Amino acid sequence: MTTADWPQADIDHMRAALAEAELAASEGEVPVGAVVVANGHVVASAHNCPIGSHDPSAHAEIVALRRACETQSNYRLSDATLYVTLEPCVMCTGAIAQSRIGRVIFGAYDEKAGALGSVVDLSDSKALNHRFEVNGGLLAAESRQLLQSFFRARR
């Protein structure tokens, strides 16, 4: 799917996730950003912060889900969409399933650790107690470029 095929709201929300990823990079964190949208409104946003927070679970998706649950006063986000710049890993996919997110849209595919199609696809796994819609590749080039630039600079 090309960018032109995506609804403008999805593009706008992914751009907000990219802005979060840029914040992560500026803090020396792997540049991944996430935004949670419910009823057309951003209810939470976050970026990777495991290094600064000394927390291996502080991936952008998990931090954004925690904040969204607080904002919504509910640990279930069944009517929400998670936008994330990189395909979620196994840990994050588990958190996504536990939150009952309705839809996940991600940017770049993660050929090393992606759990929504690249390495494994847990979105329809019988091992998880919740199914959710998944769409990948939105602004993938921008997401990938941000990651590549970050890692190139660190080498």
For residue 96, give every residue at least 6 positions away whose Cβ sits within 8 Å of its Cβ, in sequence order, or none.
61, 65, 82, 88, 104, 132
> What is the residue-wise DSSP string for 47-66?
E--HHHHT-TT--HHHHHHH
- Max alpha carbon distance in the chain (Å)? 43
Amino acid at 67: R
> Pick the catalytic residue: 61, 70, 133, 142?
61
Active site residue 61: yes
At 77, list the tokens.
């986000």
Please tell me the distance from the alpha carbon of residue 150 to that of residue 22, in angstroms, as a whole number.
10
Catalytic residue list: 61
